[in-house]
Homo-oligomer: A and B are copies of this chain.
Amino acid sequence: MHAEPNDGTALGADSAAVATLSDSELTELEAQWRAANYLTVGQIYLMANPLLREPLRPEHVKPRLLGHWGTSPALNLVYTHLNRVIKARDLDAICIWGPGHGGPAVLAGSWLDGSYTQTYPDITRDEAGMVRLFRQFSFPGGVPSHVAPETPGSIHEGGELGYSLSHAYGAALDNPDLLVTCVIGDGEAETGPLAASWHSNKFLDPVHDGAVLPILQLNGYKIANPTVLARLPEQELDELLRGYGHHPLHVTGSDPHAVHRAMAHTMDRALDMIAAIQRSAREEHAIDRPRWPMIVLRTPKGWTGPREVDGVPVEGTWRAHQVPLAEVRDNPGHLRQLEGWMRSYRPEELFDEHGRPREQVLACLPQGERRLGANPHANGGLFTRELPVPPLEKYAVEVDKPGTNLHEPTRVLGDLLEQVMEDTAERRDFRIVGPDETASNRLQAVYKATGKAWEAEVLPTDEHLVRGGRVMEILSEHTCQGWSEGYLLTGRHALFSCYEAFIHIVDSMVNQHIKWLRTTRRLPWRAPIPSLNYLLTSHVWRQDHNGFSHQDPGFVDHVLNKSPEAVRVYMPPDTNTLLATADHVLRSRDYVNVVVAGKQPCFDWLTLDEALGHCARGAGIWDWAGTEDGTREPDVVLACAGDVPTQEALAAADLLRRHLPDLAVRVVNVVDIARLLPAEEHPHGMPDSEYDALFTRDKPVIFAYHGYPWLIHRLAYRRAGHPHLHVRGYKEEGTTTTPFDMVVRNDLDRYRLVMDVIDRVPGLAVRAAAVRQEMADTRTRHHSWIREHGVDLPEVADWTWPH
Contacts and interface: CB of A to CB of B under 8 A. Distances in A.
Interface of A: 47, 62-64, 66-68, 101, 138-146, 148, 157-162, 187-188, 190-199, 202, 222-228, 231-233, 236-245, 313, 316-317, 322, 436-440, 452, 454, 456-457, 459, 461-462, 465, 473-479, 501-502, 504-505, 507-508, 511-512, 515, 518-519, 544-550, 552, 554, 557-558, 561-563, 708, 710-711, 713-714, 717, 722, 732, 735-738, 741, 786-787, 789-791
Contacts of A202: 228, 231
Q: Which 3 A-B pairs have the closest CB atoms?
A: A159-B549, A240-B243, A192-B192
A736 B544 contact: no
Q: Which of A191, A439, A477 is most buried by chain B, counting CB atoms within 10 A of its CB? A: A191
B717 A713 contact: yes
A237 to B, nearest CB: 7
A461 B220 CA distance: 12
Contact of A557 (B456, B479, B557): B557
Given A440-B223, A549-B160, A549-B512, A190 B474 contact: yes
A456 B736 contact: no
Contacts of A547: 138, 144-146, 148, 159
B737 A140 contact: yes
12 contacts: A145-B736, A160-B505, A188-B475, A224-B473, A225-B452, A233-B457, A236-B245, A240-B243, A240-B244, A505-B508, A515-B732, A561-B732
B502 A504 contact: no
B196 A437 contact: no
Interface of A is mostly: loop
A545 B790 contact: no
B146 A546 contact: yes
B549 A146 contact: yes
A64 B791 contact: yes
Given A159-B548, A199-B190, A562 B63 contact: no
A549 B515 contact: yes
Given A66-B545, A146-B546, A738-B64, A228 B474 contact: yes
Contact of A62 (B238, B244, B790): B790
A736 B191 CA distance: 24
Contacts of A146: 546-547, 549
Given A145-B545, A157-B549, A225-B473, 10 more contacts: A47-B790, A66-B736, A139-B736, A144-B736, A226-B457, A317-B461, A501-B511, A511-B552, A558-B558, A713-B714
A313 B519 CA distance: 52
A48 to B, nearest CB: 12
Contacts of A101: 546
A196 B191 contact: yes
B456 A226 contact: yes
Given A63-B790, A440-B224, A475-B161, A561 B456 contact: no
Q: Give this chain's copy count.
A: 2
A742 to B, nearest CB: 10
Contact of A504 (B511, B710, B786): B511
A561 B243 contact: no
A34 B549 CA distance: 29
B545 A187 contact: no
A193 B47 CA distance: 43
A515 B540 CA distance: 14
Given A457-B231, A549-B512, A138 B736 contact: yes
Contact of A475 (B191, B479, B511, B561): B191
Contacts of A549: 144, 146, 148, 157-160, 512, 515
A196 B452 CA distance: 26
Contacts of A144: 547-549, 735-736
B224 A199 contact: no
A239 B243 contact: yes
A505 B162 CA distance: 10
Contacts of A191: 192, 196, 475-478
Nearest to A547: B144
Q: Which of A140, A223, A741 is most buried by chain B, counting CB atoms within 10 A of its CB? A: A140
A101 B550 CA distance: 11
A558 B240 contact: no
A497 to B, nearest CB: 12
Q: Which of A196, A502, A562 is most buried by chain B, counting CB atoms within 10 A of its CB? A: A196
Given A190-B476, A457-B231, A473-B224, A787 B140 contact: yes
A786 B558 CA distance: 33
A508 B519 contact: no
Nearest to A149: B548
A63 B714 CA distance: 41
Nearest to A506: B508
Contacts of A518: 732
B474 A140 contact: no
Q: Which of A232, A479, A549, A737 is most buried by chain B, counting CB atoms within 10 A of its CB? A: A549
Q: Which of A544, A545, A563 is most buried by chain B, counting CB atoms within 10 A of its CB? A: A545
A228 B160 CA distance: 27
Q: Which of A462, A465, A519 is most buried by chain B, counting CB atoms within 10 A of its CB? A: A462
A243 B232 CA distance: 9
A186 to B, nearest CB: 9
Given A64-B790, A239-B239, A738-B140, A436 B225 contact: yes
A457 B236 CA distance: 13
A501 B161 CA distance: 12
B478 A192 contact: yes
A162 B231 CA distance: 25
Contacts of A563: 732
Nearest to A150: B735
A154 B414 CA distance: 39
Contacts of A548: 144, 148, 159, 515, 519
Q: Which of A225, A457, A790 is most buried by chain B, counting CB atoms within 10 A of its CB? A: A225
Contacts of A791: 63-64
Contacts of A554: 511, 558, 561
B479 A192 contact: yes
Contacts of A188: 475
Given A63-B790, A561-B557, A192 B162 contact: yes
B187 A475 contact: yes
A786 B140 contact: yes
Given A549-B157, A735-B144, A313 B461 contact: yes
A234 to B, nearest CB: 11
Given A224-B439, A558-B507, A714-B710, A475 B190 contact: yes
A680 to B, nearest CB: 12
A544 B140 CA distance: 10
Contacts of A162: 192
Contacts of A68: 545
Nearest to A459: B226
Contacts of A561: 554, 557, 708, 710, 732
A438 B224 contact: yes
A151 to B, nearest CB: 12
A159 B161 CA distance: 26
A732 B245 CA distance: 41
